[in-house]
Amino acid sequence: MKKSLLLAGVSFLALQSAFADLVLIQKATTDGQVQEINVKIKGDKTRMDMGEQMTVIYDGATSNMVMLMHAQKVMMKMDEETLKSMMAMAGSALGGTAPAAKPVATGEKEKIGEHECEIYTWSGQLGTGKFWIAKDFPHYQELNAAQDKMTKAMGSPVSGMLPQASDFPGMVVKSELILSGKSNVSELVSMKEETVEEAVFVPPTDYQEMKMPGIPGK
C-alpha cells in the first residue's frame, strides 16, 4: 500500500498547475488494467479522482494534501513536511538522488487525437519511457513550468525519478512507461475550461482520518 500511495502522490503532483477552472480527463492503463482519471483545477486547488477507488485533493497555497479511500471511507491528511518526508523515502527506496536522464528526440512523429506529436524516449534508474509531445498544446509552457515548480517544492529525490516537464518542447499527451517492472500507459483524453465549484475540494465529513503509514513522527 505504501508504494502505491507514493506513486499516486508523485503522479498527482505532476498534474498540479497554476490555471483556474480546468477539467482534464486521462486514460491510464497499468499492467492491462484501465482506469479513467479526472482532474479538476481551480486556482491553487486540484482534485484528482482515480476511478472510484481514490481521490486526492491538493491545495498549492498551503501545500496540504488529502487522500480519500472511498471503499473504506477513510482519509489521510499530509502537510508540506509530510510530503517532503514521503518523497525522501521514495527517493531512497528507488536508488538515491541522481539527476534524471534527459529524454531524447527520436525524429519520429505520430498524431495522437488532434495533436501532431514528436516522439521522445527516456531511460533512467526508475525505468524506461516513450513520450508523445504536442508542441501546439495550449499553454504548455506555463503548465510545464508549474509542474516543475511543484516537483522541486517536494524535494530533490523526485527529480531523479522521471524527466522534468520542461525537458520537453511541448505537452506530454501520451506516455508509455516501464516503472519498477510494471507497464504504465497514460493518454490525455481531453482538457477544457469549465467552471469548477469550490465544494469539490472539501473532504467529506463522514470519512475517518487515518495517519500516513511509515512516516516517522506522523
Closest CA to 55 of 12, 20, 22, 101: 12
Residue 88 near residue 11, CB atoms below 8 Å: no
Q: 51-100, pLDDT tens digit by residue?
A: 889 998 888 788 788 889 999 999 998 887 776 676 666 555 555 555 66
CA distances from 153 to 14, 33, 37, 79 (A): 11, 31, 24, 12
Sequence-separated (6 or more) residues with CB below 8 Å from residue 7: 179
For residue 201, what pLDDT is reported?
A: 95
CA 68-204-85 angle, to 5 degrees, is 40
Cβ proximity of 145 and 153 under 8 Å: no
Which of 43, 44, 50 has its CA nearest to residue 12? 50
Domain ranges of the chain: 2-209
DSSP state of 211: P
pLDDT of residue 19: 54
| pLDDT confidence bin for 3, thresholds 50/70/90 | very low
Computed over every residue of the chain, the mean pLDDT equals 79
Q: Specify the pLDDT at position 185.
A: 93
**Which residue matches cell numbers 505520430?**
110
* DSSP codes, 87-103: HHHHHHHTT--PPPPPP
The candidate with the shortest Cα–Cα distance to 12, out of 103, 182, 147, is: 147
Q: At residue 31, does pLDDT exceed 60?
A: yes
Percentage of the chain exceeding pLDDT 90 = 33
pLDDT band (50, 70, 90) for residue 168: very high
- pLDDT tens digits, one per residue of 95-120: 555 566 889 999 999 999 889 999 99
Average pLDDT over residues 123-128: 85
CATH fold, domain 2-209, is outer membrane lipoprotein receptor (LolB), chain A (2.50.20)
Task: Name the residue with higher pLDDT: 206 or 145.
Answer: 206
Alpha-carbon distance of 121 to 123, in angstroms, equals: 7
Partner residues linked to 204 by β-bridges:
none
Residue 14 has pLDDT above 50, yes or no: no
Mean pLDDT of all residues in 30-38 = 88
Burial string for 39-62 (b: 16+ CB within 10 Å, else e) reads bbbbebbbbbbbeeebbbbbebee
Give the per-residue pLDDT at 4: 47
Against a cut of 0.85, is the pTM above it?
no
CA–CA separation, 12 vs 156, rounded Å?
17
Q: What is the CA radius of gyration of the chain?
A: 17
pLDDT of residue 17: 44
